[in-house]
Amino acid sequence: MSDAATYSVPFWINGEEYHAEKQYDVISPVTGKAIHRSGAASDADVKKAVEAADKAFKTWKKTLPKERRDVFLKAAEIFERRKEELGDYMMQETGAPRQWADFNLDVAKDFCLDIGGRIRTLEGTIPTTADPETGAMIVREPFGVILAIAPWNAPYILGIRSILFPIAAGNTAILKGSEACPRTMWGLCSVFHEAGLPAGVLNMLVHSPQDAPRITANLIAEPAVKKINFTGSTGVGRIIGRLAGENLKPVLLELGGKAPAIVWEDADLDNAAFQCALGAFLNSGQICMSTERILVHKNVRAEFEKRFVGAIDQIFGSAPDAPILINSAAVTKNKALIKDALAKGGELLYGNPDAVEKSDTRMKPVVINNANKEMEIYQTESFGPSVALYEIETEEEALEIANDTEYGLTSAVFTEDLRRGLRFAKEIETGAVHINSMTVHDESALPHGGAKASGYGRFNTATGMAEWVRTKTITYKF
Q: Which residues are catalytic?
A: 254
CA gap 176, 197 in Å, rounded: 18
Distance CA 17, CA 189 (A): 10
